[in-house]
Amino acid sequence: MTSTLLIVQIVLAIAITISVLLQKSSSIGLGAYSGSNESVFGAKGPTGFLAKATFTLAVAFIINTLALGYLYTSENSKSVADSIVPKNNTIVPAAPATPVPAPSAPAAPAAPETK
């Protein structure tokens, strides 16, 4: 399932790139900042076919990305660190359930007696 969605993701990315590159630029380079009469989306607004297609492809891309993220995290619940084996092939024991009491400090030596 994830491989199918990954292929769809690649196709969507290519399709979005093509649809953005096919759109006519609404600005003339730096002339857009000189107070020209154009609005952000041009005089008619974003009603062109390519603008609607780009928006639809972008929504499909986002939904596909969320689905891929969900499926990858649900399938791969184990960490890579779980499969690491030490060089001497011994399994590291788990921590004990009850804490081991700390050893008691040795008694201080007795002071010498003076007569």
pLDDT at 41 over 80: no
**Of 75, 54, 61, 52, nearest to 10 (Cα)?**
61
Q: What is the pLDDT of residues 45-76, one digit of tens each?
A: 555 788 888 999 999 999 999 999 998 888 77
CB atoms within 10 A of CB 48: 14
pTM above 0.85, yes or no: no
Task: Supply the pLDDT for residue 96.
Answer: 67
pLDDT average, residue stretch 81-108: 70
pLDDT at 13 over 50: yes
- What is the DSSP track for 10-59? HHHHHHHHHHHHHSPPSS-GGGGGS--S--TT-SS-S-SHHHHHHHHHHH
